Structure 1
């Protein structure tokens, strides 16, 4: 079970595998603005303002290739962030705003790659998470970066979001699994999310899966922006605490599976048994209902024995880094 969202760290980080390719409305290609077609966006971003893109879910990030010897971020308000260039380690920047110089020492001439990932800590950003693009040397320009072609989407709550792991989404099992597969990962996840929208206020992924972000004010997501090979569901840990009945849970699961299939007609959908082993019959029944309806690409994933709560979690529920690595090893074998 996750705690209530609180304001915490917003980070921009290098990631081992670049994720979802999204092509926003084209502007001046090569100029480094948010709508530059050479920038590849991972996950769901609110792109209604061409000069300021806002990430909607945990793990959303961007990657861009560029020429020249320097790169700077355009940030609006004060944020904490990380950035990485050419596969280097994470560099932390705290409380920065405006023009953020990521290359105080010039890079060698040539083509480089900047990977940027906004993330949530306990469901909230620390600072102003608006991405306003990059600034380059005079005469330099952006280039299309290399990204994986396979995309795996992970839908869940704080466990999927990486709450209590060392780098949140960056060290959570979705990203680690994708790295193992040489694939891209998107995380449609936030702490304090249920499957069923409970009467006492737990946000239901049954409905929010269709949105650009967690907030109700975000637009419906445009699923034509990318298609995925697999969808992995890990939902139900919070439903128990909000007294969601088995019947409510099962009905909501069937509905979500139907909605995912409508949006991703060719994806394989994997319904994970949650690590607390709650709602197991209901999850299996939801999968069976879809199979009986003729959808043979919906599968139940047993997770018994994958992690030891005593050693592989930070608090009995949320995996630590070692726990996430163990989950990723098992899940990568399932996804193949």
Structure 2
């Protein structure tokens, strides 16, 4: 689907003010205990989710949407230091599991003061979740400042979403199909994968980019496809290889790819081959995961049917045992009655429906094939 970059109504309530400053907070007293994070020395202070490049001494770099940092703190003052290569990245600020505000950043290094946080002196949990995709640049996390605490974060199931602009949540907050690509209408936090993750009490790792396909991108190019990008920690850097490891293996992986491959018509056998290659890469990097191949929600019902048939063909017979098979999930075409997001992308309502369908499919599979003892389960 062609790339198309507010908050939905359910997230507009209780919005807090966020101030951006450079160097020091303006109009706010300095935090009582400035604690810039030293990631390599104190990883237990912050819980990271997503593909992180730890090669820099100052802190990890990331670019994929949905990358997040969670910290335990005592308010009301907390700041975060970030270095952005681009302009206008947006982050969902979540406190104790509830979305409370949106932070918009600027290019370069900045210190961002989060205001109106709980002032009761009790410990609270804050998560900073990247809403925008890698096309808006790479971020380096330099640390939280404030009264933070080391915390033993419970290990939750990990859901990985692999896809294009649909999985990114591009255009999701647009009022209609005519609005254009913009960071303000993109929101990975409200995407069907992130919504499903919260319903399953799972961490979510998103590996997705607008305009990308398995064999053919939206612009017709056959290089820099998701088959290529899936190997990278930072999608814009071919040298940043994501090797994967036992501790980083997802428990569930949902691949939703093909929208852009079919944008110029049926791509034929080349798509089937590329899609299978992508699945093989996903399996190699996530050896214990249960795999799902999702389709939709697309604006054109006929394209939805064609892509569903192609995905069903390429996944049939994969996996010798039921637990290794790839389960196909039809998320359905967009219902015109629900409206459209920018550039005919699914909006918040369509994403919510897709999330419900995905959660149902995951829970049904778990009921059929219970997770073995000792493994994480959604």
1:72 is the counterpart of 2:79? yes
- Please say if 1:330 is aligned against 2:357: yes
Equivalent residue number for residue 210 of structure 2: 191
Shift, 1:79, TM fit: 5.2
What's the secondary structure of 1:279's corresponding residue? helix
Aligned length: 309
Q: CA deviation at 1:41?
A: 1.1
| Worse-matched range after superposition: 89-98 or 205-214 | 89-98
Q: Which deviates further from its counterpart, 253-262 or 61-70?
A: 61-70
Question: Which one of the candidate residues 148, 154, 158 is aligned to 1:151?
Answer: 158
Map of 2:142 onto structure 1: 132
Residue of 46, 54, 58 corresponding to 1:47: 54
Contact map agreement 1:160 1:172 (CA 8 A) in 2: yes
Q: Which runs of 4+ in 1 moved over 6 A?
A: none
Secondary structure, aligned partner of 1:223: coil
TM-score between both structures, scaled by the size of structure 2: 0.72
Secondary structure, aligned partner of 1:131: strand
SS of the aligned residue for 1:282 comes to helix
Unaligned runs of 5+ in 2: 12-34, 174-185, 299-303, 364-378
Unaligned runs of 5+ in 1: 14-29
> Residues 273 and 300 of structure 1 are in contact (CA less than 8 Å); yes or no, is this contact kept in structure 2?
no
Q: Note closer, same or farther for the CA distance 1:228–1:130 as it changes in structure 2 (3 Å cut).
A: same
Do residues 253 (structure 1) and 262 (structure 2) align?
A: no
Query: What are the equivalent positions in structure 2 for 1:3-22 lying under 5 Å apart?
Result: 3=3
CA gap of 1:94–1:281, structure 2 versus 1, over 3 A, is: closer
Name the Cα RMSD after superposition. 3.1
Q: TM-score, normalising length from structure 1?
A: 0.80
Q: Quickly say closer, same or farther: Cα 1:309–1:247, change in 2 above 3 A.
A: farther
Aligned mates of 1:40, 1:75 — CA distance in 2:
16
C-alpha separation in 2, matches of 1:231 and 1:326 = 19
Cα shift at 1:53: 2.4
Aligned to 1:279: 307
Residue pairs, 1:231-310, within 5 angstroms: 231-242=253-264, 245-274=267-296, 275=298, 276-291=304-319, 297-303=324-330, 305=332, 307-310=334-337
Deviates more, 1:148-157 or 1:240-249: 240-249
Judge conservation of contact 2:130–2:188 (CA < 8 Å) in 1. no
Deviation at 1:46, TM superposition (A): 1.9
CA contact (8 A) 1:177 1:329 kept: yes
Q: Secondary structure at the match of 2:345?
A: coil
Q: 2:135, 2:206 → 1: CA distance? A: 15
Q: Which residue of 2 aligns with 1:109?
A: 121
Shift of 1:45: 1.7
Contact 2:172 2:187 in 1 (8 A): yes
C-alpha change, 1:54 and 1:244, in structure 2 (3 Å) is farther
Deviations along 1:119-170, one digit per CA (max 9) or x if unpaired, are: 325x522x7732211112xxx4432263451111110000011011136101
| 2: CA distance, partners of 1:41 / 1:178 | 16
1:204 maps to what in 2?
225
Change (3 A) 1:179 1:158: same
- Give the CA deviation at 1:104: 6.0
